[in-house]
Structure 1
Amino acid sequence: MLFRLYLARPLRSTVQIGLMATTLRRSSRFVMRETVQETTVSAVAAPISKGRKKRKLEVDEEEDSSEVDSKLDVQKDTKTRRKRLPKEPIVYVIPDVVKKETTFKGRLGYACLNTVLRNKRPAKDAVFCSRTCRLESIKKNGMDWVKDLGRKNVEDLLTMIQWNEDNHIKFMRMSSEMFPFASHGVHGYSLDYCAPLLAQVGELAKKYGHRLTAHPGQFTQLGSPKPEVVAASVRELEYHCEMMDRMGLGVDSVMIVHGGGMYDDKPGTLERIKKTVTETLSANVRARLVLENDEMCYNADDLLPLCEELDVPLVFDYHHDALFPSSIPPSEIIKKANAIWVRRGIKPKQHLSDPRPGAVTLMERRAHADRCESLPADLPDDMDLMIEAKDKEQAVFQLYRMYSLHPVNHDSLRPPNEHQTKETKGRKSAKKRRKNADAEEELEEEELDGTVDE
């Protein structure tokens, strides 16, 4: 009707025609909306009037459709929700151990990670101290986010110390990733923001008589011919030292580093290490510094004379010595090494691990076994022994049970892995990377730049 009326009138201007078209569309939508509402109301009301008494149906035209949807969702969830049955507790079958005897009275410890706490489920309940990130994450999330990772790591360290006390373990190595990128040349930062929490760690460790140590990564190369690598290594030691100082830890909390690469000149590298220690390291860093023999470059024959000259303690690693033996037996090395520890007033400590079962080649034998099958026969009675095994605290418990060193909480025990691979868990250097120390340094420079995560 309206359309016909418009056509019957004389021609109008373009503006007038547009206004008339708009009026027509609005009128059409109004008529359609009214029709739909009437149809909907009648369709809803019809079934009700057939089977029940007539009731007045009130429709609130202003009711928000999203509110109606949410009410329907709640009703749906109520109908479909089912009660979850509680999960049955896992029962671990723990095999017996072969009983052995020893006169050892020292402490056994493990490194960085607790397998029981790390594997807690759900994942949000897992406890560990190695939350880290990449440079891309720093650029994306900012430094406050990175610092919060460090705060969470320290909070979990408190939990680990308490767990260790409850399970008769009083010796542990802290993760070097406690504060991601804290020693970085560009993104490094002070630990002042976390000082109160770090102080709590130290107080708890002192309360229980626990020893906490650190082992900065293999990229800590004090004898590198590249000044920038030495500078980065010094920053890494300063970061670890700051962490321990803020915890208020005593002289027994040491930082262990290897000799590093040889750079085709072992005597010259040893001289550079000596120069860095005597001329570059601060007094508090040097007070915590300890060197360790390794399985590729520097055995005890190489490091012991340097340690005696610098009055820097030597950590003797039994596994490394088996792969790269010295000219004197372990008992003699430990005797000379312990003399430095005692002279410095520091509790002696050494490292123990076994190669994986069936390992033949050097690369296979470098990989640590899940657990240790015995204590060394020449082990001094009063010293601390770090168990560098893949099963961490479980390797300590196994030795506890073997030698009746301490009581063990059965609920904390886990069965050993029946199938241990002979391959190393780390990066492979054969064919892809040079086997000498230059390749190690090149890799670690990438880590310092944040391109590789350990």
Structure 2
Amino acid sequence: MLVRLGYVAMSMHLKNASPSQTMTYAQFQRIKDREAAIHKLERIASSNLDNCLRLLKHNKGHDISFFRFSSKLVPLANHEDLLDWNYIRPLKEKLKEVGDYATRMKMRIDFHPDHFVVLNSPQEHILKQSIKTLQMHRKLLKGMGMQKGPRCVLHVGGGYDDKELALERFIENWSNIPVSIQEMIMLENDDTTFSLQETLYLGEKLAVPVVFDLHHHMMNNNKAGWYEHWDRVVNVWKTALLPIKMHISSPREGNDPRAHADFIDADTFLSFLQKIKGSVPQIDCMIEAKKKDEALFQLIRDLGAKPEVEIIDGGSFYVK
């Protein structure tokens, strides 16, 4: 089984390469000339995309072909007072450059919109804002020329004191979401509210891939194991255009085991991989760790010492 590792948004090794430089609305308002303020937003977004390209080239140099972009590439893109701003037009060339490089280097790129993107909210304005944020991600992906497929990971949302009702509301709201957005969504089990089984209920009903998060399952599992549901996870990926994906992180020591540790526990991860070996030809594993790419490098070093693992390159390996 081939395993590809990825990491999230930022590098610990590249200096001055933040893809999330921002500007608050208060700062925007302080610039008297609105056009000059918009130009400043465009310069920040352009710099963020330059840094995305730097990150991708850094990844290529280390054989990493899986990466999550920051969702904060374009500051204030969704602000209600900037609805007349066509932010894609000035970024067109930069977006294409980033997308062309990722495609040429056969890299898998995705996003994980912030937790305020909630598709099962009972409040219409929250649902509308969530769809607007997803439309922004769709525009960015389109500008990059990314092939279709699941590119945005979402949690199911809030329980709102009645989880069954909240699940049904998700299904009801789903029917009002444009197909172009539906096509790019993956759902993930979370660490407090919706377990793997509940997330799979939606995934199967709506034909949406489910990203299995092992750490979240350890925190929120209704006293159920994950292995008996693994075939269901594999099945919801059958029609996706990309390989099956999961999230890996390790609990931080201390009072809050839900928090992510700096690095990944290689033994726990390898134990999981050995259990699923043979169920899929390939799995892409997104590392959610405080040390970002350094956590990936360390994990490869740790796994390289295991007889059950054959390292292919800096970002991938086989489980024998």
Match of 1:244 in 2: 141
- How far the C-alpha of 1:252 sits from its partner, in A, is 4.4
Distance in 1, Cα, partners of 2:222 & 2:23: 39
What letter is aligned with 2:199?
A: L
1:185 aligns with 2:80: yes
* Separation (CA, whole Å) in 2 of partners of 1:214 and 1:151: 18
Asked if the contact 1:299–1:324 (Cα under 8 Å) also holds between the matched residues in 2, the reply is: yes
SS in 2 for 1:144: helix
The corresponding residue for 1:284 is 180
- Residues 50-449 of structure 1 aligned to structure 2 (within 5 Å): 104-117=1-14, 120=15, 126-141=16-31, 142-188=37-83, 189-190=85-86, 191-252=88-149, 254-279=151-176, 281-326=177-222, 328-357=224-253, 359=254, 361=255, 364-374=256-266, 375-379=269-273, 380=276, 382-404=282-304, 405-408=311-314
d(CA) in 2 for partners of 1:376, 1:331: 15
**CA shift at 1:329, angstroms?**
2.6
Code of the residue aligned with 1:391 in structure 2: it is K
Q: For 2:229, what is the secondary structure of its paired residue?
A: helix
Inter-CA distance 344–327: structure 2 relative to 1 (3 Å threshold): farther
Instruction: Give the drift of 1:335.
Output: 2.3
Task: Give secondary structure in 1 for the equivalent of 2:234.
Answer: helix
Distance 1:327 1:299 in 2: 10
Q: Residues of 1 paired with 2:149 and 2:10: CA distance?
A: 20
Look up the SS of the partner of 2:190 in the other structure: coil
Q: Indicate if the aligned counterparts of 2:64 and 2:314 stay in contact, CA closer than 8 A.
A: no
Higher gyration radius (CA): 1
Whole-Å separation in 2 of the counterparts to 1:198 and 1:250: 14
Offset, 1:337: 1.4
Superposition deviation, residue 213 in structure 1: 0.4
Cα gap change, 1:200 to 1:253, in 2 (>3 Å) = farther
Distance in structure 2 (CA, Å) of the matches to 1:339 and 1:239: 29
Structure 1 residue identity aligned to 2:103: K
Alignment size in residue pairs: 294
Three-state SS of the structure 2 residue aligned to 1:372 is coil
SS at 1:316's partner residue?
Answer: strand
Partner SS, residue 152 of structure 1 = helix
Letter in 2 for 1:378: F
Render the CA deviation track for 1:252-309: whole Å, top value 9, x for unaligned. Answer: 4510111121111212211221122222x11111100111111111111211111101
* TM-score (norm. length: structure 1): 0.62
Any idea what the Cα deviations from partners look like across 1:156-202, whole Å, max 9, x if unmatched? 11111011000111111000100112122332443122111111111
Structure number with the higher helix fraction is 1
Report the 3-state secondary structure (helix = DSSP H, G, I; strand = E; otherwise coil) of the residue aligned with 1:343: coil
Preserved contact between residue 401 and residue 408 of structure 1 (Cα < 8 Å):
no
Partner of 1:35: none
Considering Cα pairs closer than 8 Å and 6+ residues apart, tell me whether 1 or 2 has the greater RCO: 2
> Is contact 1:220–1:233 with CA below 8 Å preserved after alignment?
yes
**In the aligned structure 2, how far is the partner of 1:219 from the partner of 1:330?**
27
Report the alpha carbon displacement of residue 328 of structure 1 after superposing the two structures with TM. Answer: 4.4
Report the RMSD for the aligned CA atoms in angstroms. 1.7
Q: 1:329 to 1:131 in 2, by over 3 A?
A: same
Percent identity over the alignment is 29
**CA distance 1:210–1:327, shift in 2 (3 Å):** same
What TM-score do the two structures reach when normalised by structure 2?
0.87
1:406 to 1:391, Cα distance in 2 relative to 1, 3 A? farther
